Amino acid sequence: MGDHLTQFLATWGALLSTFGLGWTFYRDLHDRASLKITAHVRRLVQSPDGKWYAFKPDMPVEGASEQLFVVVDVTNVGRRPVKWTGWGGKYHKPVNGKDSFLAIPIALPQMLDEGASHSEFSTDIVTPTSENVKRLFVYDATGKDWYLPRRALRKLKQEARKYQV
């Protein structure tokens, strides 16, 4: 009887410690920063209090810009804060000897805590939606690049073709 109890307790202890170790690894691997990136073609309007608002190009809004902009929205969906410092893209074929470009930021750098988001827009719609653009990315203070998903880039290019005159 005592031998079975010892075996049971040893097995039980091994299972509990294995589960605890697995949970610790899982928790540590998921306890990091993660950014969700979206991009859209938008028109802008400035409210009387100075705030900028972006909306679909086909919406009739008084005082809206005629020019189209690429608006990049970044949300921190991870558990660690991230300092967003800029954004840009990479080309399929080099342009003027460069294989990538950077957008001039409006209100960056921006610290994104857990669940926080921020939007930036580009004053040049041609560059981010050009058919030569291979990837769009944002980068943080550590130098890590966070890429816009390829499907989202395809949709952005379709949007740009749809709204360009």
The reply to whether 15 and 83 lie within a common domain is no
CATH number of the domain where residue 97 is located: 2.60.40
The reply to whether 47 and 2 lie within a common domain is no
**What is the token pair recorded at 129?**
């939606």
Q: Which residue has the higher pLDDT, 125 or 131?
A: 131
Residues 6+ apart with CB under 8 A from 152: 37, 38, 39
The reply to whether 40 and 62 lie within a common domain is yes
Residues 6+ apart with CB under 8 A from 154: none
pLDDT band at 37 (very low <50, low <70, confident <90, very high): very high
Closest of 88, 4, 76 to residue 33, by C-alpha: 76
Write out the residue range of the structural domain in which residue 11 sits: 1-31
The reply to whether 27 and 38 lie within a common domain is no
The reply to whether 39 and 6 lie within a common domain is no
Residue 165 has pLDDT above 60, yes or no: no
Count the Cβ atoms, other than its own, within 10 Å of residue 2. 6
Residues 69-99: tens digit of each pLDDT:
899 999 999 889 999 999 999 999 898 899 9
- CA 99 distance to own-chain centroid: 21
The reply to whether 126 and 60 lie within a common domain is yes
The reply to whether 9 and 52 lie within a common domain is no
Which phi and psi angles does 164 have, rounded to 5°?
-70, 140
